[in-house]
Amino acid sequence: MKTLDLDKVAAAIEADAGQPLPGLRESLAEAQAGVYACVTSREEIARRTRGRPVGSVQAATKAPVKLRLDPDLLAALKATGRGWQTRVNDALREDLKAGRLG
């Protein structure tokens, strides 16, 4: 961890997330320096539940759908890398707002 290039790591994390993450570089620098500020009591550990905390990432979950696409189209979408489904969702939302769908 001490020899990692924090800017490269942060850039890779933000590229994967698809957005800038406030405080990421500072947190990485603290982790690299060995600063760990998380103190957890036995009571806090006992209150924890499994899974993602409610409302932590998204207020509403997305609905799974079965969609049939031409193989060449699916291959082209997947070739754009991780997050292709989110990009398709965003593109459809923009087309709907612009009146190109429906």
Q: Is residue 56 part of a domain?
A: no
Q: Within this chain, do residues 14 and 41 fall inside the same structural domain, yes or no?
A: yes
Structure tokens at 88: 């398709």
Q: Within this chain, do residues 1 and 43 fall inside the same structural domain, yes or no?
A: yes
Look at the pTM and tell me if it is higher than 0.75: no
Other C-beta atoms lying within 10 Å of the C-beta of residue 84: 14
| Residue ranges making up the domain that contains 25 | 1-47
pLDDT at 53: 66
Q: H or E element: which one contains 86?
A: helix 84-97
End-to-end CA distance of the chain: 51
Taking the chain (102 residues) in consecutive chunks of 10 residues, what is each chunk's mean pLDDT?
83 92 90 75 81 63 90 95 94 93 78
